[in-house]
Amino acid sequence: WTQLLADFSAMASCNSVWDIPGIKAGVVTGDVAWSILEFAKAKKFAIPAFNVTSSSTIVAVLEAAKKINSPIMIQFSQGGAQFMAGKALDNGDHAASILGSVAGARLVRAIAPSYGVPVILHSDHCSKKLLPWFDGMLEADEEYFRACGEPLFSSHMLDLSEEPDEENIAICKKYLGRMKKINQILEMEIGITGGVEHGMDNSGVSKDKLYSTPEDVYKVHEALSPISEKFTIAAAFGNVHGAYKPGNVKLRPELLVEYQKFAAEKTGKEKPLFLVFHGGSGSEMSEIEAAIDAGAVKMNVDTDTQWAYWEGVLKYYKEKEAYLQGPLGNPEGEDKPNKSYYDPRKWLREAEGSMVTRVANQCKILRNMDKCAK
């Protein structure tokens, strides 16, 4: 633990992300990506991970990251990756999802450096039935590692929370051993996040499953830490996927403090856990702040940015409705062309602009602002 304490102290003394050894603009992996998470925990902020489904949503996230001058996470779900490749493709054995993930990752790698901030490239919830998708991405990571000395993705998530804890942890151990060889980060989930998302319906789960115990969480740390330090834990503290009014989700962020305290007593290290916050829509600001203070370094964001993207189109349509009823004819004349209004670049840009604002606002909420200031 002496080295871990030294690493944490080193991150606490950094004033900027640019102080991290090996840091660069664009996709970062391995020790550099892990150091960003250490920096976040030491400085008490969290990095939001935004789900993307297209080049347009990727650009929106990167533009916001440049605007707020801070590191960002971009992540692909299995369904989002399939959409990235094209819904017309056969997704048997998750082939289209694998293709879309790899294509999306390569696009992010190609354009992210131009936005001037570090990017952690991640894949979202992978349940047991989706493991062939996970395997396909790992094969691409290993191929990229052989060619470039680093994996294609910075990290991946296994969500085996529907399985018995023993099986969940055993599968995570197997995959973390494989990922360690390419210096990659694993995110795992213990306990269940309620609601419905990415093909997983936990809306009817019993309430006790929505709250992990300190013993549950420590079992994960105890099993994975001998393999690699590079893992994060999405522990359940009442989280629910989807959109809810503030106050309707009964979060218990004080549980995160209990997880850290229990693990600290076992390891002798202060706040040894790297925690992840899922299902944050509808959370009170005080709950989010408490989670960050307890060591949450990542928060997933999807529902809110989906609405923001659509709302950009909705507002544009309402404003320009008279110009969007046909190729010709508008208030300026029945033969006047409307091409400049229905051009996809016009209304998609409105969607991007709305999403940029929402992404930047989420970064502000998570205290992830100007972390790249020099």
Task: State the catalytic residues.
Answer: 124
| CA 218 to chain CA mean position, Å | 23
Which residues, in sequence order, are CB contacts of 62 under 8 Å at separation 6+?
72, 74, 108, 111, 112, 115, 117, 119
Adjacent-strand bridge partners of 337: 328
Q: How many CB atoms sit inside 10 A of residue 204's CB?
A: 6
Smallest Cα–Cα separation from 52: which of 78, 91, 83, 80? 80
Q: Which residue has the tokens 């047991």?
A: 128
Cα angle, residue 159 at apex, residues 216 and 207 outer, rounded to 5°: 55
> From its phi and psi, is residue 281 left (phi > 0), alpha (psi between -120 and 50) or beta?
beta
Give 3-state DSSP helix, strand, coil % of the chain, rounded to 5.
55, 15, 30
CA 146 to the chain's CA centroid: 26
DSSP states of 115-139: GTSEEEEEE----GGGHHHHHHHHH
Q: Are 17 and 71 in contact (CB under 8 A)?
A: yes
Burial 226-256 (b: 16+ CB within 10 A, else e): ebbbbbbbbbbbbbbbbeeeeeebebbbebb
